[in-house]
Structure 1
Amino acid sequence: MKRLSLLWLGALLVAACSKQEPPPEPVRPVLFIEVKPESVQSLGRFAGSIQARYESTLGFRVSGRIARRHVDVGSEVEQGALLASLDPTDQQNQLRAAQGDLSRIEAQWINAQANARRQQELFDRGVGAQAQLDVAQTDLKTTGASLEQARASVGQARDQLGYTELRSDHAAVVTDWKVEAGQVVSAGQEVVTLARPDVKEAVIDLPATLADQLHEGVEFRVASQLDPSINTTARLREIEPQADSATRTRRARLTLAETPAAFRLGTSISVTLSSAIEPRTQLPLSALWEHQGKTQVWIIDPQSSTVSPREVTVVSREGDSLLLGAGVKAGEKVVSAGVNSLKPGQKVRIDEETPR
């Protein structure tokens, strides 16, 4: 009887041991990355400068030797300001000659008038001949025409003398001199370049391939290279239709939304191009779990500290990273390493976020 009781007790102990629950799975530490979708695509950053929208290159209307340059590059000039002058000797001589011709013809005009009046009086008294009167009147008309011509010549010579002074036709900034004092220039030759400072724009050179892909949704952000905190947005005003044969770039001119005071003419700027896109998320390639023909990632539930797989849409893969188009939401935590050894519902411990 005692032996039977011992056997019964042993059987109970074995049964009790067989019903014990298996030990819980250990909590696995995992690395993660927080989802931060990007809705803007960067198209690149390019260097440029602030330039005036309106520029004009002036030249003398007569030829001659430059006697003096009255302003330097960078000078601000008002409308009518004297920029440069030619040696006026030739034009002064021409004016004096024209004035001398005018004085001579004016004297002839006075004599012709007196002669015409005298012949008219003689003819009225019946002692003058009609032929002499006709000659006097014809001479008067001829001399009058010569007088008008001489006056026009004086006016033209005076204008030519005035053309020896090059003046600004509007308020501007001198940006370039193309000649030096003492140099002989011809009429119409480029002498000085003026820029109107009231309307400024950003100018950059874009690769021809990128310029062909620009559309209305592209945003331009213009910042000073010396102080990036000084910035504004801009829109494309015009782009050259033909690429430069040497650099294969096309010049683009941008209209500024605002013009900070620091954006002076010639200021070096940095222009960033970006375009709105459908939200996309960049993850390390190690976060992707490809199983049974599906592309998935492991999502961490912060409440239960468990993981679950979720199917995602891969837009592209490049190097050690990939772009997801759909499947994850902003703020969610995705396991970034060791995805092949996880199980649905497995307990995890978040150690640290994987740097991007």
Structure 2
Amino acid sequence: MPLYHSFQLLFRQSRHVSTLKFFACSLALFTLAGCGQPEQAQVAAPAPAVSVYAVSNVEVGQYKEFVARTEASKEANLRARVEGELIERHFREGMKVEKGQLLLQIDPAAYEASLTQAKADLNSKLSAQGNAIRNLKRADELIDQGYISQSDYDRLTTEKSQAMAGVNAAEAALEKAELNLSYTKIHAPFSGAIGKVNYDIGNFVGPNSEPLATLIVTDPIYVNFQVEESDYITHLQKHHKVRDPKNVPIDITLRLPNNTNYPEQGLLNFADTKIDQGMGTVELRAVFANPEKVILPGLFVNLIVEGRVKQSLALIPQAAVQENQQGKFVLVLDENNTVSQRHVVLGRRMNAMWIVNSGLNEGEKVVVEGLQKVRSGSKVNPVEKTIDPTTGTISDIQAN
């Protein structure tokens, strides 16, 4: 029946029904009229896109990290050994100098005069010694003939001994004068880099003065660190047959204050012979080649000791790691791109990456971007990315 005629019929009958019934019937008719129209299908929301990283494995050994401090492998404080005015400097501060190079000059005038006097005194003593020897020689001839008394002979013998002692003293004075004069010239005891000069030309210096300058060698460079006594005893028990510290099967590396890894490997070259009773530690020292002079003495660095017996463990970026009350976890994708939450046990940190001691396997994919879009059970549209292991920068995979 057409909708218009239905309304007419309803209107005629509306005199005998209440207004409420009228509107109820009208609503029913509209509903029936619409029953013949097909329902529109609901469109499902697309799966959110997230960036994922395919877990890779690396070979790592037992690991320990120590706060350490760098030290020059050679260091000499250049001091004045005689008093005088500083009159010359033959180097530039901060530059390399060679062994034996003249560095500083103290006014030698007074020491040259002392040397001249010592030479004259020695000549005088030598002359007196010669005279005493000749007198005793004549006395040796005369005493047998009775021409001199025994007391005179003894006196001449004593004079000879005194003259010889005077010569020895004069020779020692001359040697001292020569040394003092040589001390007015300060030479480099070894090749190295020389630092700031603490006294200007014209200053009066002497043995009680502060060091004039400091000469150091930084290639190789020493790195000193302390090990807990319990760890050190364990180390000795494992490697007690290794006599030379250089042969201990460990790898030693450095992380510098700017959080970069130093490229050179170190060697253990010294272990103290006693435990520090106050700290309960033992002092150890590693040595590193430093040809580019990147490492300066006095730096605080992180020294990393790793065993050479390796195991394969997962490596993941820091961006993938989250934390809740149960600990650290990551979001992992299965073969159907469904997200699940998985707790992991983390090991050492390597720049922008974490070693995973347990909880992940090589090849599994973890979410690194879009973490806020998903939760356990969500389906996602994964986009695989690469990670710079040093900076943690996330990038698209370049097509071949």
Shorter-chain TM-score tier:
0.5 to 0.7
1:313 aligned to 2:343?
A: yes
Give SS of 1:110's match: helix
Change in CA separation of 1:177 and 1:127 when aligned onto 2, cut-off 3 Å: same
1:277-292 pair list within 5 angstroms: 279=314, 283=320
Q: TM-score, normalised by structure 2?
A: 0.54
Letter aligned with residue 350 of structure 1: N
Residues 1:93 and 1:222: Cα distance change in structure 2 (over 3 Å): same
Does 2:175 correspond to 1:155? yes
Deviation readout 1:50-109 (Å, 9 max, x if unpaired): x74222111122121111111222343332221111111221222222222222222222
Report the 3-state secondary structure (helix = DSSP H, G, I; strand = E; otherwise coil) of the residue aligned with 1:29: coil
Q: TM-score, normalised by structure 1?
A: 0.60
User: For residue 249 of structure 1, what is the aligned residue in structure 2?
Assistant: none
Give the corresponding residue for 1:36. Answer: 55
User: CA-to-partner distance for each residue in 1:136-173, whole Å, 9 max, x for gaps?
Assistant: 22222222211211121111111111111111222222
Specify the code of the residue in structure 2 equivalent to 1:168: A
Other-structure match for 1:93: 113
Q: Which runs of 5+ in 2 are unaligned?
A: 1-40, 236-249, 277-283, 347-354, 387-393, 395-400
The amino acid that maps onto 1:312 is R
% identity of equivalent residues: 21
SS in structure 2 at match of 1:79: coil
Distance 1:27-1:235 versus aligned 2 partners, 3 A rule = farther
Q: SS state of the match for residue 94, structure 1?
A: helix
1:36 alignment partner AA: V
Equivalent in 209, 215, 239 of residue 194 of structure 1: 215
Partner of 2:92: 72
What SS does the aligned partner of 1:201 have? strand
Does residue 182 (structure 1) correspond to residue 202 (structure 2)? The answer is: yes
Residue 112 (1) aligns with residue 112 (2): no
- Which secondary structure does the structure 2 equivalent of 1:196 belong to? strand
1:11 is aligned to none
Could you tell me which runs of 5 or more consecutive residues in structure 1 were left unpaired when the two chains were aligned: 1-22, 243-251, 317-322, 343-347
Q: Say if 1:122 and 1:203 are closer, same or farther in 2 by CA, change over 3 A.
A: closer
Amino acid of the structure 2 residue aligned with 1:29: A
What secondary structure sits across from 1:53 in the alignment? Answer: strand
Structure 1 residues 1-356: aligned runs within 5 Å: 28-32=46-50, 33-36=52-55, 52-187=72-207, 189=209, 190-196=211-217, 199-201=219-221, 220-221=253-254, 231-234=263-266, 255-256=287-288, 259=290, 262-263=292-293, 279=314, 283=320, 299-301=333-335, 306=336, 312-313=342-343, 328-333=360-365, 337-339=373-375, 350=381, 352=383
Cα distance in 2, alignment partners of residues 138 and 202 from structure 1: 61
Instruction: Answer yes or no: is the 8 Å Cα contact 2:332–2:364 preserved in 1.
Output: no
The change in CA–CA distance for 1:324 and 1:26 in structure 2 (over 3 A counts) is farther
Amino acid across the alignment from 1:149: A
Per-residue deviation at 1:221?
A: 4.9
- Which residue identity lines up with residue 76 of structure 2 in the other structure? S
CA distance in 2, matches of 1:324, 1:102: 82
Residues 1:70 and 1:284: Cα distance change in structure 2 (over 3 Å): closer
Question: RMSD of the TM alignment (CA)?
Answer: 5.4
CA distance in 2, matches of 1:324, 1:105: 85
